């Protein structure tokens, strides 16, 4: 895979390829934007391109086949280091190790590259330590920071990096891409685009995840029974999932549940406003949506979407969040309107 294969981020790929051709490389980059928009993939490809043995001969980098590219792809390259959160955060000792390493000479004679994932999770002490590195750039070294929530980072760090904003793709563009390049049916492309909210990486992941669509069926079956909401089943929903899922993936499953819920209530809002089923994401549930829309006011539906966003935000910020409690809470909030009828 080459940088030019990255889809939907042409503005960034253009800047990075131009810098590779000119040799004007910044000492620090901050790749930020929503999940699933290609930040980590682009960072890896850019890192590989910096030390690609065909640089200067081939403009379409990285080649992916030279010794440097292969070793970096396998994280077996001495001048390339990846820093990730240790537990819930990136600690000061991890950044101190970067400080120590960055002062050493290149082992291979090329660029020394430090890729920092989830940079917004740095502790204050770690952030201040990194700031010292950024204030005194070292020749031949590049730092690439990746963040989903870059506003949570120190402003002084952001201001010392070249900012690269990764954007979501417009839904019609993503749908067309899924149909033409990945052979999705128009109905599936519409659903994937809506579920992924314009994030191409997320859409492609869901397209290959049959377990997600099984989960979607279970969630929508619970939400769509407007006459007889099964509260007990809803409250046992998470425990049943835990029996059949790898517990390490529990957090991702809960976030998937919230995303599915949001598309459902988004569809109810859309239908309540305009009565047009062609605009719905969950096309296979349009008859349920028509009936369900009669139960709620638009204000109430918007409140539900806000509640879902609040729970999701809480889980994203606190990786040790109480997941069973979060799911119980959101089901009770969503069903409260039905229980009052």
Give domain status of residue 29, yes or no. yes
Do 20 and 117 fall within a single domain?
yes
Which has the minimum average pLDDT: 84-88, 242-246, 298-302? Answer: 242-246
Which has the minimum average pLDDT: 18-22, 174-178, 243-247? Answer: 243-247
Do 140 and 227 fall within a single domain?
no
CATH number at residue 9: 3.40.50.300
Alpha-carbon gap, residue 276 to 28, rounded angstroms? 48
pLDDT of 247: 47
Over residues 179-193, the pLDDT tens digits come to: 998 999 988 898 898
Do 15 and 160 fall within a single domain?
yes
Residue 58's pLDDT band (cuts 50, 70, 90): confident
Residue 244's pLDDT band (cuts 50, 70, 90): very low
Residue 320's pLDDT band (cuts 50, 70, 90): low
Do 9 and 129 fall within a single domain?
yes
Strand partners, 55: 58
Q: What is the mean pLDDT of residues 293-310?
A: 88
Residue with tokens 């537990």: 87
Alpha-carbon gap, residue 144 to 140, rounded angstroms? 13
Q: What's the first-to-final CA gap in the chain, in angstroms? A: 55
- Tell me the longest C-alpha to C-alpha distance in the chain: 72
Q: How many domains does the chain have?
A: 2
pLDDT of 165: 94
pLDDT of 284: 87
Residue 96's pLDDT band (cuts 50, 70, 90): very high
The backbone torsions φ and ψ at residue 88, rounded to the nearest 5 degrees and listed phi first, read -95, -10
Sequence-separated (6 or more) residues with CB below 8 Å from residue 104: 112
pLDDT of 229: 57
Which has the minimum average pLDDT: 181-185, 197-201, 321-325? Answer: 321-325
Which has the minimum average pLDDT: 66-80, 157-171, 196-210? Answer: 196-210
Alpha-carbon gap, residue 74 to 67, rounded angstroms? 11
Do 8 and 99 fall within a single domain?
yes
pLDDT of 321: 66
Do 116 and 19 fall within a single domain?
yes
Asked if the model's pLDDT at residue 234 lies above 70, the reply is no
Give domain status of residue 56, yes or no. yes
Residue 27's pLDDT band (cuts 50, 70, 90): very high
Do 159 and 259 fall within a single domain?
no
Per-residue H/E/C for the chain: CCHHHCCCCHHHHHHHHHHHHHCCCCCEEEEECCCCCCHHHHHHHHHHHHCCCCECCECCCCCCCCHHHHHHHCCCCCCEEEECCECCEECHHHHHHHHHHHCCCCCCCCCEEEEECCHHHECHHHHHHHHHHHHCCCCCEEEEEEECCHHHCCHHHHCCCEEEECCCCCHHHHHHHHHHHHCCCHHHHHHHHHHHCCCHHHHHHHHCCHHHHHHHHHHHHHHCCCCCCCHHHHHCHHHHHHHHCCHHHHHHHHHHHHHHHHHHHHHHHHHHHHCCHHHCCCHHHHHHHHHHCCCCCHHHHHHHHHHHHHHHHHHHHCCCCCHHHHHHHHHHHHHHHHHCC
Sequence-separated (6 or more) residues with CB below 8 Å from residue 183: none
Q: Nearest Cα to 129, choosing from 89, 166, 169, 163?
A: 89
Q: What is the mean pLDDT of residues 156-173?
A: 92
Q: What is the mean pLDDT of residues 273-284?
A: 88
pLDDT of 341: 47
Do 20 and 157 fall within a single domain?
yes
pLDDT of 31: 97
Asked if the model's pLDDT at residue 317 lies above 90, the reply is no
Percent of the chain with pLDDT over 90: 42
The backbone torsions φ and ψ at residue 141, rounded to the nearest 5 degrees and listed phi first, read -120, 140
Please calculate the CA angle 149-190-40 and round it to the nearest 5 degrees: 30
Give domain status of residue 231, yes or no. yes
Alpha-carbon gap, residue 274 to 292, rounded angstroms? 15
Please calculate the CA angle 21-161-35 and round it to the nearest 5 degrees: 90
CATH number at residue 265: 1.20.272.10
Q: Nearest Cα to 289, choosing from 278, 302, 304, 305?
A: 278
Residue 312's pLDDT band (cuts 50, 70, 90): confident
pTM of the model: 0.79
Mean pLDDT of the chain: 86
Residue 43's pLDDT band (cuts 50, 70, 90): very high
Q: What is the mean pLDDT of residues 136-146?
A: 93
Per-residue H/E/C for 76-104: CCCCEEEECCECCEECHHHHHHHHHHHCC
Cα distances (angstroms) measured from residue 341 to each of 9, 68, 305? 48, 65, 20
Q: Domain of residue 220: give its range.
A: 209-339
């Amino acid at each position: 895979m080459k940088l030019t294969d990255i889809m939907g981020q042409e503005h960034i790929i253009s800047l990075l390829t131009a810098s590779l051709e000119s040799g004007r490389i910044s000492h620090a980059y901050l790749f930020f934007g929503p999940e699933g928009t290609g930040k980590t993939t682009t960072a890896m490809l850019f890192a590989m391109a910096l030390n690609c043995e065909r640089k200067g001969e081939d403009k379409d980098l990285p080649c992916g086949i030279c010794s440097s590219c292969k070793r970096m792809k396998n994280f077996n390259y001495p001048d390339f280091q990846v820093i990730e959160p240790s537990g819930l955060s990136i600690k000061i000792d991890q950044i101190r190790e970067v400080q120590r390493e960055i002062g050493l000479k290149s082992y291979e004679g090329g660029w020394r590259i430090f890729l920092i994932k989830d940079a917004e999770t740095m502790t204050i002490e770690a952030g201040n330590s990194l700031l010292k590195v950024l204030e005194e750039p070292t020749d031949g070294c590049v730092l690439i920071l990746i963040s989903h929530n870059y506003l949570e980072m120190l402003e002084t760090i952001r201001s010392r990096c070249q900012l690269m904003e990764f954007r979501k793709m417009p839904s019609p563009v993503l749908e067309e891409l899924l149909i033409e390049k990945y052979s999705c049916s128009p109905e599936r492309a519409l659903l994937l685009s809506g579920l992924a909210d314009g994030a191409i990486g997320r859409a492609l992941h869901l397209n290959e995840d049959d377990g997600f669509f099984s989960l979607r069926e279970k969630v929508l079956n619970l939400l769509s029974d407007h006459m007889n909401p099964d509260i007990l089943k809803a409250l046992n929903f998470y425990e049943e999932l835990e029996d059949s899922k790898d517990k390490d993936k529990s957090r991702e499953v809960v976030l998937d549940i919230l995303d599915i819920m949001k598309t459902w209530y988004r569809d109810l809002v859309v239908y309540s406003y305009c009565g047009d089923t062609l605009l719905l994401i969950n096309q296979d549930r349009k008859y349920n949506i028509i009936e369900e829309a009669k139960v709620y006011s638009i204000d109430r539906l918007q409140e539900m979407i806000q509640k879902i966003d609040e729970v999701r935000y809480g889980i994203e910020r606190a990786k040790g969040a109480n997941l069973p409690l979060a799911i119980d809470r959101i089901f009770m909030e969503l069903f409260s309107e039905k229980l009052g009828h």
